[in-house]
Chain A
Amino acid sequence: GAVVSQHPSWVICKSGTSVKIECRSLDFQATTMFWYRQFPKQSLMLMATSNEGSKATYEQGVEKDKFLINHASLTLSTLTVTSAHPEDSSFYICSAHQGIQETQYFGPGTRLLVL
Chain B
Amino acid sequence: AQTVTQSQPEMSVQEAETVTLSCTYDTSESDYYLFWYKQPPSRQMILVIRQEAYKQQNATENRFSVNFQKAAKSFSLKISDSQLGDAAMYFCAAPSGGGADGLTFGKGTHLIIQP
**A103-B47, A109-B44 in contact; A97/B103 too (CB < 8 A)?**
no
Q: How many residues of B contact A (CB 8 A)?
A: 22
Contact B91 A43 (CB under 8 A): yes
Contact A103 B33 (CB under 8 A): yes
Is residue A57 contacting chain B, with contact meaning CB distance below 8 A?
yes
Once bound together, how far apart are the Cα atoms of A93 and B106, in whole Å?
16
Contact A49 B102 (CB under 8 A): yes
CB-defined contacts of B46 to chain A, threshold 8 Å:
106
Contact A43 B44 (CB under 8 A): no
Can you name the residue of chain A whose Cβ is closest to the Cβ of B6? A43
CB-defined contacts of A106 to chain B, threshold 8 Å:
37, 44-46
Name the interface residues of A95-115: CB closer than 8 Å to any CB of B.
95, 97, 101-106, 108-109
Which of B35, B46, B47 is the most central at the interface, judged by chain A CB atoms within 10 Å of its CB? B47
**A44-B105, A46-B104, A104-B103 in contact; A109/B47 too (CB < 8 A)?**
no
CB-defined contacts of B44 to chain A, threshold 8 Å:
106, 108-109
Which residue from A42, A59, A91 sits with its C-beta under 8 Å from B107?
A42
24 A–B contacts from the bound complex (CB under 8 Å) = A32-B101, A34-B101, A34-B102, A38-B43, A42-B107, A43-B106, A43-B107, A44-B105, A46-B96, A46-B103, A46-B104, A57-B100, A59-B96, A59-B102, A93-B43, A93-B45, A97-B101, A101-B50, A102-B33, A104-B101, A106-B37, A106-B45, A108-B44, A109-B43
